[in-house]
A and B are shown apart, each in its own frame.
Chain A
Amino acid sequence: MSEKQNITRTEMGVAVMGLMRTGTTLVADLLTNRGKSLVLSEPDLLSKYDPTLAARMRQLAKDFGLPAPTATLEAGNYTRNIDHFDASFMAELKQLDFWGVKYVNMVGWRRLFEIYRPRKIVLCVRDLRAVTVSALELVNRMRLVFADNKHRRDEAWVFSRICYSVHELMALRTLPHLVVRYEDLVGNPATLERLREHVGLETLGTERLNLMIERASRSQWELTKHGKAGEISDKALDRFAREPEGPIRQMAERIWRMMGEYNVAFGYDVPPPAQRIRRHDFASRVMPNDNPINYVDTETWNWRGPTQLEPVFGRRRARILVSRNIGKHAKILDLGSGSTALRRLLPNELPIVLSDNAARSPEFIVSDIYRGNLPPAENATLVTAIGVLEYVDDVRRFLKQLRAYNLPILLTYYPTDDNEDIDRDSYGWRNALSRNELMRAFLAAGFIANPRWAFDGRQSAFRLRPKPVAARPTRKPRGKRIAGRGNKPVMPRRKILEPV
């Protein structure tokens, strides 16, 4: 570690901490002023040494104008990122008025603050509903993939990561800080002035150095949206208002309904009492620093989440089951995709067309699925609808539309028989069908349904096959029917969904 290498650390000038999609990178850049101050975005100082990250930090330092470090980037030289950071930048950073870090990944901040005590803390916040919708879009646009197959970025990850971060932010509130609300940052020039005063800068930075070292899939998107010159725009303010009804809007609302303390603490609307989610494993605790969510769990691709029914985790489980029941040569149309997670679960990069009622990334086909307007099948051989049917207004119409594909369907649903203890309205579900009613509806729509009931205790999965349209029966000659010992008709063998 650095102490052993005789490197003297300095106090950190500022720590910018916040939820993802709350303008933390923008604040980091505003506080980065050539020759005076540098705020490094997500240096992940306490994690194992990561040469890619180290290279990004060097790029940032170089763009800023710091001299190139002499030490190599080879993995064997450092144990943790902080070792590289200290060896490469500390001497130069000490010459500046101040330096700082910006984190949305808040695991380990307590230890980091013990090593580098921040003189100032800036907490970046935003309406949780907008954060959620925006975070999901970011995940989809950046096509985040992890080679280890242990990490995935799906709705459940977004949900649990935001909840985890909310708890950490509520703990950070116990330290002296300045709150920067995204809504004020982009809409009220006085906020910039307060930020400048808080850190003691003469002027705020004007370059987007931290944004430029991000992956192109993100930086280009952000620059295209807000302007190439890096100006601050309010184009993302109505993020939640633009989100149509459906599971993603419900997911955003659920986080907002659960985290009332965050809303009060940072001046946001609070839902009326009847809408608040109280008894939930992820809900705010009385004492700060009592985070009920384990960070490592949030990063585990198949974590089952809270003990309560949480649809995003149900969707995760359903995707895993469905992905194991897709043939090797299938071409898939995924309805109501939400995220690109199903693609990552499929073997051999099977072709998949993602669709939803909003453009979650450029590759999504947009269609008002929940109102029964389904996208064209193109050349798909299989249609999947995971965590979709509950949000459909007119089930009969929806199933009729599905039948029109004339393709096999893999679909999931929470029948009322297996979920008697829950308030379906609270989840924003638009229908309530029992197992029996569901099977009748499938049959009426022209499907032969093979169910796997309550595969996770609550949720059922169905393989629907279009029932062949019977040809007009040929009139048989009238005659006496003689009972006899013939062979019994052989029923076709049903393919049951394989268990996980």
Chain B
Amino acid sequence: MAVEQYPMGVAIMGMMRSGTTLVADLLTVRGKSLIISEPNMLGKWNPGQVGRTHAIAASFGLDVEPPPLPGTYERNDDYYRAAILPQLGRLDWWGLKYVDLYNLKGLFARYPAKKLILCTRDIRDVALSAIELVERMRLAFDDRKHMRDEAWVFSRLAYTVHEIMALRRFPHMVMRYEDLAADPDRIREELRTYMEMKALGTERINLQIEDPSRTEWESRKHESGITARSLGRYENEPDGPRRHLAERLWRLFPEYSLAFDYEVPAPALRLSTHPFRLRPRPGDNPIPYLPTENAFWQGPDCIEPTFELRRGRRLVARNIRPKDVLLDLGAALPALRFLKPEGTGYLNLPAAKRFDSIAAGKLPKPGAATLVVALDLIEHLPDLPRVFAALHKLGRPMLMSYHASDDTVGIDRAGLGWINHLTRSEILTLLQGAGFRVTAKWNIRNGLSLIRARPQDKKSDEAATGSGDDGGT
């Protein structure tokens, strides 16, 4: 079958959490046009994905055969071309919506799009919303090869920014989430005019086939309309690792902010030498897609806090004992829960995520926890003696990561959002002064050290002075 028989009417491409599903539904009108959300056309046969696509088509009212048994087709596209595209060809037009912008060259070579809509949003809000989505949907993979952690959010968004900047070279319409939410009538009219439609769709066909954990959450928040309830997320986000991640992405991609009319960071804040930065030639994406999906990927060749956190979590997972129950302090996402060995526990306490409380030395009660974990946290705390004293009061051993200043010579620590700059010796002294007996593995990679601190009585602690680098972790 010649693919040209069914040219794509529109491709909706965007950052995740930028309203792409909503735009897909606005352009879906029964009997006239259908946008299919994330069909992964060129991907290997995936029963889940083709099942979702079938559900959209069936929900829309197309008479399509259900996906065949595994082994019938090698790729999703084989099924689409056999069962879905002939039906789509009877409509005025059809389209695809993607936030997973992988192999776009191949996609457009096979299905050239007549129109292109780019969905964008302030990247800080995107990052925060993406973290919330990951958390709410409890995205995890049993195979342990995939991981939805902060490093995934960081690298996936960075990858997508590169692709979106490259897509700008084609004629397109930009759909800013902020405009759609703040002035829905005007933007809907612009969208309708661009697509030359008589009326936009009113159903949420694409949203309804999403995971219920997402559908219900979105429906609860926005009810049946387009609301401005998700605007200004970054402004309302308290200080802490989530905000740091969002801000770092924003500082990394001033070109994106400029291209889509967002605020641009001041020159001193921009991360102009980062390996993930945008290149002079759009389309020259330095981030390979597949590694972003790999839970073991080490990330860019520099200190990138989200990847340091990923490394720290793996180190912790290897250094906990059976039956340990973890209290994960300050973590934006509970990724450690999916890394820890069988038989160990994980306390997901909301209070443990409150960075401002932790910084003030107000820690949650440890309850059943047997080990406190503090990763990518200590560097961000202004008053370490107070926090260490509070940690000591918990009476639990602790595993923490730290980048000592003597291991990060020449690194712009302030640029990483770190506000204290202690040497190995100074951090040891502080911990010992707080009543911990300390062992450490220094400079494992990129200056990352893992420190095990066991609370002791003050008296016995004084006797233990001198403990230090033993590689005991």
Q: Is the CB of B169 within 8 A of A286?
A: yes
Q: Is the CB of B281 within 8 A of A269?
A: no
Which residues of B sit under 8 angstroms from A276, Cβ to Cβ? 258, 261
Tell me, yes or no, whether B297 is within 8 Å of chain A by CB. no
- B254, B266, B282, most chain A CB atoms within 10 A: B254
| Size bracket of the A interface | 10 to 19
Q: Is the CB of A264 within 8 A of B281?
A: no
Contacts A267-B272, A272-B263, A273-B263; A288 near B255 (Cβ below 8 A): no
Q: Complex: how many Å from CA A171 to CA B165?
A: 16
Tell me, yes or no, whether B270 is within 8 Å of chain A by CB. yes
Which residues of B sit under 8 angstroms from A278, Cβ to Cβ? 261
B277 to chain A, nearest CB (A): 11
Q: Is the CB of A287 within 8 A of B266?
A: no
Tell me, yes or no, whether B289 is within 8 Å of chain A by CB. no
B48 to chain A, nearest CB (A): 35
Q: Is the CB of A268 within 8 A of B267?
A: yes
- A170, A174, A264, A267, most chain B CB atoms within 10 A: A264
Q: Complex: how many Å from CA A213 to CA B282?
A: 41
Q: Complex: how many Å from CA A216 to CA B266?
A: 40
Contacts A261-B255, A264-B255, A288-B281; A269 near B263 (Cβ below 8 A): no
Within 8 A of A (CB), among B259-277: 261-264, 266-267, 270, 272
B79 to chain A, nearest CB (A): 35
Tell me, yes or no, whether A118 is within 8 Å of chain B by CB. no
Within 8 A of B (CB), among A258-289: 260-261, 264-265, 267-270, 272-273, 276, 278, 286-288
Tell me, yes or no, whether B168 is within 8 Å of chain A by CB. yes
Q: Is the CB of B169 within 8 A of A287?
A: yes
Q: Is the CB of B258 within 8 A of A270?
A: yes
Tell me, yes or no, whether A173 is within 8 Å of chain B by CB. yes
Tell me, yes or no, whether B343 is within 8 Å of chain A by CB. no
Which residues of A sit under 8 angstroms from B70, Cβ to Cβ? none
Q: Is the CB of B280 within 8 A of A173?
A: yes
Q: Complex: how many Å from CA A288 to CA B262?
A: 22
Q: Complex: how many Å from CA A267 to CA B258?
A: 13
Q: Complex: how many Å from CA A286 to CA B270?
A: 20
Q: Complex: how many Å from CA A286 to CA B272?
A: 19
The 8 A CB mask of A281-323 against B (1 = contact, 0 = none) is 0000011100000000000000000000000000000000000
Which residues of A sit under 8 angstroms from B272, Cβ to Cβ? 267
Q: Find A288's partner among B165, B263, B266, B280 (CB 8 Å cutoff).
A: B280
B280 to chain A, nearest CB (A): 4
Within 8 A of B (CB), among A169-215: 170, 173-174
Contacts A286-B168, A287-B281; A270 near B261 (Cβ below 8 A): no
The chain A residue with its CB closest to the CB of B268 is A267
A180 to chain B, nearest CB (A): 15
B438 to chain A, nearest CB (A): 39
Within 8 A of B (CB), among A347-391: none
Q: Complex: how many Å from CA A276 to CA B260?
A: 11
Q: Is the CB of A273 within 8 A of B261?
A: yes
Q: Is the CB of B280 within 8 A of A273?
A: no
Contacts A261-B255, A273-B262, A278-B261; A267 near B267 (Cβ below 8 A): yes
Which residues of B sit under 8 angstroms from A270, Cβ to Cβ? 254, 258, 264
Contacts A273-B262, A286-B169; A264 near B254 (Cβ below 8 A): yes
Q: Is the CB of A260 within 8 A of B264?
A: yes
B295 to chain A, nearest CB (A): 33
Q: Is the CB of A260 within 8 A of B267?
A: no
The chain B residue with its CB closest to the CB of A267 is B267
Which residues of A sit under 8 angstroms from B254, Cβ to Cβ? 264, 270
Which residues of B sit under 8 angstroms from A272, Cβ to Cβ? 263
Contacts A270-B254, A286-B168; A264 near B280 (Cβ below 8 A): no
Which residues of A sit under 8 angstroms from B258, Cβ to Cβ? 260-261, 264, 270, 276
Which residues of A sit under 8 angstroms from B165, Cβ to Cβ? 286
The 8 A CB mask of B181-194 against A (1 = contact, 0 = none) is 00000000000000
Q: Find B280's partner among A170, A267, A268, A269 (CB 8 Å cutoff).
A: A170
Which residues of B sit under 8 angstroms from A273, Cβ to Cβ? 261-263
Q: Complex: how many Å from CA A272 to CA B257?
A: 11
The 8 A CB mask of A151-184 against B (1 = contact, 0 = none) is 0000000000000000000100110000000000
A366 to chain B, nearest CB (A): 33
Q: Is the CB of A269 within 8 A of B266?
A: yes
Q: Complex: how many Å from CA A264 to CA B258?
A: 8
Q: Find A174's partner among B263, B266, B280 (CB 8 Å cutoff).
A: B280
Contacts A264-B254, A267-B272, A268-B267; A287 near B261 (Cβ below 8 A): no
Q: Find B264's partner among A264, A287, A288 (CB 8 Å cutoff).
A: A264
Which residues of A sit under 8 angstroms from B264, Cβ to Cβ? 260, 264, 270
The chain A residue with its CB closest to the CB of B267 is A267
Q: Complex: how many Å from CA A264 to CA B169?
A: 19
Within 8 A of A (CB), among B160-195: 165, 168-169
Which residues of B sit under 8 angstroms from A287, Cβ to Cβ? 169, 281-282
Besides A264-B255, A273-B262, 15 other CB < 8 A contacts?
Answer: A170-B280, A174-B281, A260-B258, A264-B254, A264-B258, A265-B280, A267-B272, A270-B258, A270-B264, A272-B263, A286-B168, A287-B169, A287-B281, A287-B282, A288-B280
21 A-B residue contacts at CB 8 Å? A170-B280, A173-B280, A261-B255, A261-B258, A264-B254, A264-B264, A264-B270, A265-B280, A267-B267, A267-B270, A267-B272, A269-B266, A270-B264, A272-B263, A273-B261, A273-B263, A286-B169, A286-B282, A287-B169, A287-B281, A287-B282
